[in-house]
Amino acid sequence: MKSFFQKYEIGGKLILLSALFAFLSFFFNWLQFYTMVGNGFKQGAYILLIVFIYPVAIILLQKQIKKRIAYLNAVIGILLGISYISMYIVDDEGVLYKAYGYGPIIFILSCGMLAIGIWKYRVKDMNRNIKKDGRMLQ
């Protein structure tokens, strides 16, 4: 019996791994400024997982992906991550401090990984080993 992960091509594996990394990024600090610390769940950043719904659903259903919509999701995720980072750069009397942690950086990288997975994704033909008369090829 094949494992769950083996039945997907490299693109599908990258998309699923990127969604996992995006989820794991919420356990890292998204806010880190002196004594103020907050992970992605405290900061409400979990709403950003919306960009992964369409690609992951298509992978799990093993359907053909509409690449424009999927790329749009990846780009929106990257832009939202960058906007979060730019929101937490603090100017204190002419000195810039970064108030964000590693969480948004990991999220942005996982959105980039999502785009690469979309580019590599092909639907795996589950019926390629079946002859026309219904017998399995060895």
Residue 55 CA to residue 70 CA, distance in Å, equals 6
Segment among 30-34, 36-40, 115-119, 123-127 with least mean pLDDT: 123-127
The predicted model gives 92-115 an average pLDDT of 91
Per-residue pLDDT reduced to its tens digit, 45-100? 889 999 999 999 999 998 899 999 999 999 999 999 999 999 988 888 888 888 88
The predicted model gives 7-13 an average pLDDT of 89
Q: Report the pLDDT value the prediction gives residue 88, as an integer from 0 to 100.
A: 86
Q: Report the pLDDT value the prediction gives residue 125, as an integer from 0 to 100.
A: 62
Question: At residue 138, does pLDDT exceed 60?
Answer: no
CA dihedral (94, 95, 98, 99) in degrees, to 10, reads -70
Q: Report the pLDDT value the prediction gives residue 91, as an integer from 0 to 100.
A: 82
Domains of the chain by residue range? 8-120
